[in-house]
A = this chain, B = another copy of it.
Amino acid sequence: MDSIPYKALTPETVATRLGDIAAVRAHAGPPESWKVVEVGDGNLNLVFIVTGAQGQVIVKQALPYVRLVGESWPLPLNRSFFEYHALIRQAARAPGSVPEVYHHDEAQALVVMEFLADHVILRQSLMAGTRHPGLGAFLGRFCAQTLFRGSDLGMDTAERKRDLALFAGNIELCDITENLVFTDPYFAAEMNRHTPALDPVVASLRADRDLKVAAQHLKAAFANNAEALLHGDLHTGSVMVSGDRARVIDPEFATYGPMGFDVGMLIANFLMAALALPGHLDDRAERDSYRDWVLQTATEMWEHFSAEFTRLWRTERRGILYAASLFEDQGDGLGAEQARLDRLAAIWRDALGFCGVEMHRRILGLAHIAEYDQIEDEALRATCEARGLVRGRALVIGRGSIRDMAEVTELARHIMERDYL
């Protein structure tokens, strides 16, 4: 199949085109037994569920354009190659945290992978008010393990440089992040949209010099500071959950960047889920209680990130940075601890900044989130979104001052009681 030119799959052609692949048959059974449905609801790709006599698999295939926009916005097929390479690295660095890959075909831009039975997208679950025990711990460990082990703290540096060169090819998807996250929200760019009632708040943000400068400093860090292999799009639509189980999916935006990017995007999406709750849970007591769970989950995410990063720093620091030869081997373990605290503080500061711009772009940019979009009462939606906008600014500008998640969640509760329109 590698020699056949790229052709988009349809439910009708999946069995013919993938039926001979042993790794797929091993998980789905003989192709005669397959039932295929297309379920892609994301912005970019085709996603098929293949159900056969032996079980189910997911077939994800890139399209040569942005599905959300159409053929007028071409997007290269090689994002499937980068997704595959990110998935196998994440599986090695954080075992059990991502779907198992069964097959990759670079020319057809497809990955066949584990079907996650009974799982739903976390974003949907957060709108429904469902609790997932251990979610914060899972996400914190995922970030710590993939980021530490995907950096010069844990990797052989020659391997990291070869990998940096490989992922530097993910140009067009980085370009989407660079423009849609860091620049377009801060001026009236063509593809932007926002709820009309937000106009005064939007005007004030776009006239906010300090905010624009800070967002561009964050963009420079994202584009240049290749600290670790990032997931690159780690929001609550890239997490699947089922009860107390969870997996991270869709790393096609993978790139080397600052560790705080993945962490900050996750925090942002929990904060927005909390801020949008008035549109989804009518009962005040239930809403407040669920809001507390969401904020607590974000807090646990950071705490477990920090704890696992610390554990890895003490046990797996075998890269070129902060070498034990300078610290532990000289009887100066305290020096390594001092450096670790500096690094965690820098990741935290970056994360708050990225968190703030993520909140802005989800309300002002091209790619919105369901939590806001599905609030049909436009006045209520605007009220919730305005809180997200002022919240985002407070995080970007305050990223050097806000010390911990307690301060972040306290500010969230403050903002949720107020109206900024």
Given contacts A212-B335, A220-B152, contact A157 B183 (CB under 8 A): no
A209 touches B335 (CB 8 A): yes
- A404 interfacial contact with B, CB 8 Å: no
B-side contacts of A335, CB under 8 Å: 209, 212-213
Contact stretch, chosen from A161-169, A238-246, A366-374: A161-169
B-side contacts of A216, CB under 8 Å: 321-323, 326, 339
A209 touches B152 (CB 8 A): no
| Minimum C-beta distance from A320 to chain B (A) | 5
* Complex: A189 Cα to B320 Cα, angstroms: 15
Chain A 196-224, CB-CB to B under 8 Å as 1, else 0, gives 00000000001101101100110110011
- A158 interfacial contact with B, CB 8 Å: yes
A183 touches B323 (CB 8 A): yes
Chain A 87-120, CB-CB to B under 8 Å as 1, else 0, gives 0000000000000000000000000000000000
- A290 interfacial contact with B, CB 8 Å: no
Given contacts A164-B164, A321-B219, contact A338 B227 (CB under 8 A): no
B164 touches A168 (CB 8 A): yes
Secondary structure of the A side of the interface? helix
- A316 interfacial contact with B, CB 8 Å: no
Given contacts A187-B326, A325-B187, contact A213 B168 (CB under 8 A): no
* Complex: A52 Cα to B163 Cα, angstroms: 46
- A171 interfacial contact with B, CB 8 Å: yes
- A386 interfacial contact with B, CB 8 Å: no
A153, closest chain B residue (CB) = B220
* Complex: A322 Cα to B321 Cα, angstroms: 30
Given contacts A165-B164, A168-B162, A168-B164, contact A223 B321 (CB under 8 A): yes
A223, closest chain B residue (CB) = B152
This protein's copies in its complex: 2
B342 touches A213 (CB 8 A): yes
B-side contacts of A334, CB under 8 Å: 209
B206 touches A330 (CB 8 A): yes
Select one of B158, B207, B223 contacting A320, CB under 8 A.
Answer: B223
Of residues 380 through 411 on chain A, the ones whose CB sits less than 8 Å from some CB of chain B are none
- A71 interfacial contact with B, CB 8 Å: no
| Minimum C-beta distance from A138 to chain B (A) | 27
Given contacts A162-B168, A164-B164, A224-B226, contact A332 B212 (CB under 8 A): yes
Of residues 117 through 147 on chain A, the ones whose CB sits less than 8 Å from some CB of chain B are none
| Minimum C-beta distance from A349 to chain B (A) | 14
Given contacts A161-B171, A168-B162, A168-B165, contact A320 B224 (CB under 8 A): no
B-side contacts of A339, CB under 8 Å: 213, 216-217
* Complex: A212 Cα to B323 Cα, angstroms: 10
Select one of B161, B224, B321, B326 contacting A169, CB under 8 A.
Answer: B161
* Complex: A334 Cα to B212 Cα, angstroms: 11
A326 touches B212 (CB 8 A): yes
* Complex: A179 Cα to B320 Cα, angstroms: 8
B168 touches A220 (CB 8 A): no
A161 touches B157 (CB 8 A): no
Interface centre among A227, A326, A338, A342 (most CB of B within 10 A): A326
Given contacts A165-B164, A186-B326, A216-B339, contact A178 B320 (CB under 8 A): yes
CB pairs A–B below 8 angstroms (6 shown):
A162-B171, A164-B165, A187-B325, A209-B332, A209-B338, A216-B339
Q: Closest 5 interchain pairs by CB?
A: A165-B165, A165-B168, A209-B335, A161-B168, A213-B339
User: Which residues does A use to contact B, with CB under 8 Å?
Assistant: 151-152, 157-158, 161-162, 164-166, 168-169, 171, 174-175, 178-179, 183, 186-187, 189, 206-207, 209-210, 212-213, 216-217, 219-220, 223-227, 320-323, 325-327, 329-330, 332, 334-335, 338-339, 342-343
